[in-house]
Amino acid sequence: MKNKILVTGGAGYIGSHTCIALHQAGYDIVVYDNLSNSSREAVNRVSSLIGQPIEFIEGDIRDAESLRQVFAEHQFFGVIHFAGLKAVGESVAQPLKYYDNNVSGTITLLEVMAEYDVKNLVFSSSATVYGDPERLPIDENSPRSCTNPYGQSKLTVEHILEDLAVSDESWNLIPLRYFNPVGAHPSGQIGEDPNDIPNNLMPYISQVAVGKLEKLSIFGNDYSTVDGTGVRDFIHVTDLAQGHVAALSYLEQQAVPVGFLPINLGTGKGTSVLELVTAFSEVSGEDIPYQFADRRAGDIASCYASADKAKDLLKWQAELSITEMCQDTWRWQSMNPNGYNAT
Ligand code: NAD
Ligand code: WQD
């Protein structure tokens, strides 16, 4: 029998796709989520896609007692830790909420893991920890710096994990630094379901395409990039999900602890905002009206990964193209115009 994994934040966008990949790879999973940014319906749909009920616990990672109950009941090989808040703008307005949830919550989780001697962790970090990169593509040794509380919370957790690995060599701590996750499960049953008006580009584009939003504002057309618009490393969420399976499988194969081992999950390719808009329009057959607007505060011109470390160590690389990212987003958006809240 395969190992059992605790998936915090497993009801969310990336977590729900990863649950499917973990199940397909033969892992037993327990999802722990407070549903602060997700719905029970996502868990139900994952259950129906995998053809069996998912063990779901509604709980908060800041609640040590609740976590202890879960660890006492199950023997986990490790934890994949997605639970966190992720809205950059909200983090500027409410920094304490972000530090409490993302940093204090992770400390509580690590304490309970230590109590139960579960020392394998895969953590959702972000390319945001690289700030404005000095060089491209961005490799894992690039300097780290952040300009907003959300990014700072991810970087702080990384520092905590580094210190923890020094203090006790039995830990295996892999922060996966995601670039720009987009796309949805090819079934169209699960996908990204933002509250309110999306902050991120792909959900904004898809809501314009489906007619929920009138027009996209493209933030800046004077960057020194291929067409003046920002360039990002978009990665399909199902590729990202497979990256987590590869990280776990890597940990299972190690004879000695790996300590703190950060790894980028990106495609290694940059795509501009305008290129993504054009690809989405072609795939969906819909017009995507847009206007150019001022640069968004805090944005950088270009950001894409060196994906070599993931390939060398994890034997993983992203497979899916921008076209497939747009197709799967469009399927999810057009089948679920109101996300999980069907009305
Ligand atoms: P998401 O909001 O869809 O998923 C996060 C899940 O965590 C949600 O289901 C939410 O209810 C849960 N959660 C939040 N706080 C919790 C708490 N205190 N206790 C229990 N559950 C809690 O976000 P996502 O896009 O799936 O992101 C997953 C992780 O990856 C996050 O940590 C995020 O910061 C990180 N990340 C996301 C992106 C991205 O662009 N989506 C990029 C880089 C990193
Ligand atoms: C991409 C490009 C925008 C919206 C953010 C977080 C990062 C990570 C991923 C969690 C930029 C442009 C966007 C719009 C636009 N999340 N854009 N019009 O900023 O690269 O990264 O999500 O860790 O931390 O900062 O992603 O999708 O917001 O923007 O022109 O309405 O699209 O200016 O060039 P970003 P994004």
Q: Which of 27, 98, 150, 223 is catalytic?
A: 150
- What is the C-alpha to C-alpha distance for residues 185 and 20, in angstroms, rounded to an integer? 9
pLDDT at 148 over 60: yes
Residue having the nearest C-alpha atom to atom 29 of ligand 1: 82
- Quick check: 9 and 244 in contact, CB under 8 A? no
Which residue, among 30, 29, 32, has the nearest Cα to 9 in the 3D structure?
32
Task: Measure the N-to-C terminal CA separation of the chain; round to a whole number of Å.
Answer: 41
Best mutation site among 6, 7, 8, 14 for ligand 1 pocket (most ligand atoms within 8 Å of CB): 14
Q: 91 in helix, strand or coil?
A: helix
Phi, psi at 193, each rounded to 5°: -130, 75
37 lines ligand 1 (CB under 6 A): yes
In the block, tokens 């996750």 appear at: 181
The answer to whether 226 touches 272, Cβ cutoff 8 Å, is yes
pLDDT of residue 37: 97
Q: Which atom of ligand 1 is nearest to the CA of 150?
A: 34
- Return d(Cα 287, Cα 118) in angstroms, integer: 51
The Cα 316–Cα 306 span in angstroms is 13
DSSP 48-66: HHHTS--EEEE--TT-HHH
pLDDT-based confidence at residue 147 (cuts at 50, 70, 90)? confident
CA of 12 to the centre of ligand 1 (A): 6
Residue 343 has pLDDT above 60, yes or no: no
Q: What is the band of 341 on the pLDDT scale with cuts at 50, 70, 90?
A: confident
Distance 317 CA to ligand 1 centre (A): 22
In the CATH scheme, what architecture does the domain 4-185+234-266+306-318 have? 3-Layer(aba) Sandwich (3.40)
pLDDT (0 to 100) of residue 1: 60
Q: In angstroms, rounded to a whole number, what is the distance separating the alpha carbons of residues 138 and 123?
A: 19
The ranges assigned to domains in the chain are: 4-185+234-266+306-318
- pLDDT score recorded for residue 261: 98
Q: Taking all residues of the chain, what is their mean pLDDT, rounded to a whole number?
A: 97
Please tell me the distance from the alpha carbon of residue 261 to that of residue 253, in angstroms, as a whole number: 15
